[in-house]
Chains A and B, each alone.
Chain A
């Protein structure tokens, strides 16, 4: 009978708790993203609209400076709903480009290089993998969008006083919910496309094609049917309408906001279905 000396000892150190294990995937995804100097520079540039807004809020409450600049308090009276809606747009556009740059490269290279079985042979499952990638997008896009937006809203509320924050609570809500919905839908869509097409260039093209072509298609359907039915597939208009509704402003879509919410929900669900189908730990014979 063979006798084996037990020389092997399992690792007995501290482990990352299971509920936070997906953040390991996030950490590596973030490291990969910020390894590009170009991306880091673009990321820094994404804060510019918010910084400009910060400057405007600051000077609008600095009477001495306004006087020096030859401006009156009324000049800055526009720091209201319109100002915050414009700021939202100028945060959302760079946020979209951040997601468009990052999302296609998060899953496609793992599939193209058959790396998924390696991930899934560790103690993480497919849900953790997707959650990890999603968290990477969320952590990257949040600071220049809703985090800065809410901070500016609070700053304006504090500076303005007199219940401004309470009166304009919808602005805060729109920043939080609007950006979160925008980030969630585009992130899920980007990850699903990344999983579907396997190659980063194709994934980037597909993401833009889906948004541009579907939007153009939606507009063409509206034109041809002389209705607003095309807005069902007009993803950017659906998001815009939801955000406008959150701000309490008139919506740009001719459809009820509930239909716009439904469009976003369907896109999100379809993306999850695609991710579920495509992320498998086996080689696909082509």
Chain B
């Protein structure tokens, strides 16, 4: 492979990624994503207002509350739907807009197109979700005043925050690849997305063999504070964090390979969509 070709591929992939990033972040499409991320932020705000005075002295409450909110609401709903909105439209949005052919009329390997769209969408998702997660984490500690800030800046607090950010980043990678693929395969990618959401929500109640087929099982293994999943959940040993991270990245790579295969066979027949 010549270096000139690599350079061209990089330049093309970045052009596609930049275009995708602008389409995702600097347009009206970002509104539903912003509404989604506003929810955990407003939860944190409400908590700051309503937290009983007695609990303001106990930092453990904030750690536990955030863990619960992150696992059961932020990860399962906010990150999930934000990724669905951003990634599913990477291809399907252009097909519905009848503008995908402009990308296909460029001297572009379809693998470069998939890579560019994925990277652009991933950056868009990270740009919105990572700061929102960090701000929510800080806001959860706000009612404790200076002690709360010290907790956030302490080694434990910082490592917790880093772990939560890593979980969000990995979730964006994995869910993103899945929704990008769904956008290529299905004329309505929201149907498989909703079915998968059902699967993800039901994961705590599934036997271990079936848990292994969900993303949230691996993502939960990376959480610094395990959430309480209720009396009906089937508890299993968490996956080793390195294995969980590697597994999610491997699944992402496999999904992207499938997306490239599909993109290479893609034809422009808008009327059928």
Instruction: Show the binding face of A for B, using Cβ within 8 Å.
Output: 112, 199-202, 204-206, 208-209, 212-213, 216-217, 220-221, 223-227, 286
A205 touching B190 in the complex, CB below 8 Å, given contacts A213-B77, A220-B69? yes
A216 touching B73 in the complex, CB below 8 Å, given contacts A204-B188, A204-B190, A223-B68? yes
CA–CA, A165 to B84, complex, Å?
49
Inter-chain contacts of A225 with B (CB < 8 A): 46-47, 50
CA–CA, A221 to B46, complex, Å?
8
Q: Judge if B189 is at the interface, Cβ distance under 8 Å.
A: yes
Closest to A208 in B: B194
Q: Which of B85-93, B111-119, B121-129, B168-176 contacts A (4 or more CB under 8 A)?
A: B85-93
Q: Judge if B67 is at the interface, Cβ distance under 8 Å.
A: no
Q: How far is the CB of B49 from chain A (nearest CB, A)?
A: 8
Q: How many residues of B contact A (CB 8 A)?
A: 33
- Sample 7 A-B pairs with CB under 8 A, ordered by A number: A204-B191, A205-B85, A213-B36, A220-B72, A224-B43, A224-B46, A224-B69
- B69-99 interface mask toward A, CB cutoff 8 Å, 1 = contact, 0 = none? 1001100111001001100110011001000
Determine if A202 and B46 form an interchain contact, defined as CB atoms under 8 angstroms apart.
Answer: no
Q: Judge if B32 is at the interface, Cβ distance under 8 Å.
A: yes
Inter-chain contacts of A206 with B (CB < 8 A): 32
Q: How far is the CB of B129 from chain A (nearest CB, A)?
A: 14
Inter-chain contacts of A217 with B (CB < 8 A): 39, 43, 73, 77
Instruction: Show the binding face of B for A, using Cβ within 8 Å.
Output: 28, 32, 36, 39, 43, 46-47, 50, 52, 65, 68-69, 72-73, 76-78, 81, 84-85, 88-89, 92-93, 96, 187-191, 193-194, 197
Determine if B78 and A213 form an interchain contact, defined as CB atoms under 8 angstroms apart.
Answer: yes
Determine if B50 and A226 form an interchain contact, defined as CB atoms under 8 angstroms apart.
Answer: yes
Closest to B78 in A: A213
Q: How far is the CB of A75 from chain B (nearest CB, A)?
A: 29
Determine if B89 and A220 form an interchain contact, defined as CB atoms under 8 angstroms apart.
Answer: no
Q: How far is the CB of B110 from chain A (nearest CB, A)?
A: 22
Determine if B187 and A201 form an interchain contact, defined as CB atoms under 8 angstroms apart.
Answer: yes
Inter-chain contacts of A112 with B (CB < 8 A): 96
Closest to A286 in B: B28
Inter-chain contacts of B68 with A (CB < 8 A): 223
CA–CA, A166 to B197, complex, Å?
44
Q: Which 8 A-B pairs have the closest CB atoms?
A: A205-B190, A225-B50, A201-B188, A204-B190, A224-B47, A220-B73, A199-B96, A209-B81
Determine if A216 and B187 form an interchain contact, defined as CB atoms under 8 angstroms apart.
Answer: no
Checking A200, A209, A220, A227 against B43 with a beta-carbon cut-off of 8 angstroms, the contacting residue is: A220
Q: How far is the CB of B130 from chain A (nearest CB, A)?
A: 19
Inter-chain contacts of A216 with B (CB < 8 A): 72-73, 76-77
Determine if B77 and A212 form an interchain contact, defined as CB atoms under 8 angstroms apart.
Answer: yes
CA–CA, A187 to B64, complex, Å?
39
Inter-chain contacts of B81 with A (CB < 8 A): 205, 209, 213
Closest to B65 in A: A224
Inter-chain contacts of A204 with B (CB < 8 A): 188, 190-191, 194
CA–CA, A206 to B193, complex, Å?
12
Q: How far is the CB of B234 from chain A (nearest CB, A)?
A: 21
CA–CA, A220 to B42, complex, Å?
11
